[in-house]
Amino acid sequence: MFDLWIEGWKLRELILNNEVRPREAAEFFLDRIERLNSKIGAFMTLTAERALEDAARLERLPAPARASLPLYGIPFSLKDLTWTKGIRTTLGSKNFENFVPRADQEYAARIMAAGGILLGKTTTPEFGGKPTTDGGLCPTAHNPWDLSRTAGGSSGGAAASVAAGMNPVAEGSDGGGSIRLPAACCSLVGIKPSRGRVSNAPVMGEGWAGFATNGPLTRSVRDAALLLDVMSGPAAGDPYWAPPPSCSFVDALKLRPRHLRLAAIAETSLASVDPEVRATFDTACKTMVAMGHRIEPLKLDPAALLKDIGQTLICAGISSIPLHDPDAVDPIVRAAWENGRRLSASEYIATVAKMHNVSRQIVQELLPYDALLTPTLPYPAVKLGTLYRSPEDSLEATFGWIPFTFPFNATGQPAISVPNGFTGSGLPIGLQIVGRPADEVGMTRSPQPLKRRAPGTTNTLPLRIEQPLQDRISD
């Protein structure tokens, strides 16, 4: 019918050309989820009946209406932090096990209105409070490249679903790296948009003092641009409004490339960078220089400047969630919740002000450059259950894994993680490209290294999986 690893935009073209029906696409991925989810742990809730109803509705549309929908017939998933009207939304927590929202979040409604077919809700750590997707109410998200390792977090279920071929595109959220981190772990493209690019309406004005936003996880930059085009745009009354882009993000991919002045940060005082991660980063930089781009190493450590601020504000964001049973919360997330509860209102306001002042200094330092390059993560996906030793040291462990990502949640700059090769054992490595404020178009035009094949595979998509599962994933 179509290739297992088909990109969303290609699937849409097949559907518009009547080579595939929306119902056939939905049934294909629903069947795949049913067969694989017990091993991968990507989905918390399936919406199979609704997906087939939506597919039937789309098939009844006249041809002009079909062609006007940018996501016509493309199956997708939403993270289980995203409010969905009439569909259970657990936030990964036993405290919200039976919560059914009365409204869709703005970006979710836009994806549905654009012709997307919702397959279900993907797994998340409790409240999105960890960079690994385990603990709490949701199943553990396993990395399709190595089932013993994490798919990342907090959008680990979203990333695992796309990497395992359960759906072509997924929505995720990012409050410190939670889109880019899983993208790097699973060899995907993940975009954290600019602050104010994607509306949080009607649930909140901002998430985690402006740290958190929502964006796409996909297998290609084109699919990521397509989904971001649909998700973008403010709702009336939003506190942050990113300026409209100079053109659509899909159209930006057609712009003629130009030689760029790029900054590079390869080290941080918060973590030691794995030698293989550093080697692939250096190779990517050399490749870009060979393409005619100018790269300048930058002696700047945004993570060190923002660590205390980030820890305080993320804990404060988690602590704002009302709990009827704190004892039921994952111990790592509860430690952050309790940490935030100790913060006074005046301390919170002072920390937000400090965040903006420090962020302003970082942005000004980066302004001479078209974009910034960093590794996405200092080391590849960890074995499940090994990141934390205890709740007491959990903040240090968390920020030791996200030092290259969380600073740009504070500054509000757009950032994308793209695949950048593999370790010798076949684990994916990511490259992060950070754009100027509100300039996803310029970031999209930045150079992106080609995805390299993992050792021992015949495909650039996940096949390094336990044999019983591999037989089904590669069918």
Q: Would you name the residues annotated as active-site residues?
A: 79, 154, 178
391 CB contacts (<8 Å, ≥6 apart)? Answer: 331, 332, 334, 335
Phi then psi dihedrals of residue 470, to 5 deg: -60, -35
Q: What's the CA angle centered on 328, arms 324 and 329, to 5 degrees?
A: 95
The answer to whether 199 and 233 are in contact (CB under 8 A) is: yes
Q: What CA–CA distance (Å, rounded) separates 336 from 328? A: 14
Place of tokens 């007491």: 392
Cis peptide before 178 (omega within 30 of 0): no
Query: Counting Cβ atoms within 10 Å, is residue 348 exposed (0-12), middle (13-18) or buried (19+)?
Result: middle
State the DSSP H helix or E strand holding residue 173, giving kind and residue range, or none if neither. strand 169-174
Strand ranges across the sheet with 169-174:
43-46, 117-122, 75-79, 169-174, 213-218, 189-192, 415-422, 428-435, 371-375, 261-264, 294-297
Strands (E) located in 67-116? 75-79
Give the CA distances from residue 445 to residues 85, 220, 371, 411, 434, in Å, rounded to whole numbers and listed in that order: 36, 14, 10, 21, 12
- Bridge partner list, 142: 150
SS3 431: strand
The answer to whether the beta carbons of residues 342 and 316 sit under 8 Å apart is no
442 closest CA partner among 190, 238, 188, 253? 253
DSSP assigned state of 391? G
Rg of the chain in Å (alpha carbons): 21
Structure tokens at 120: 């279900």
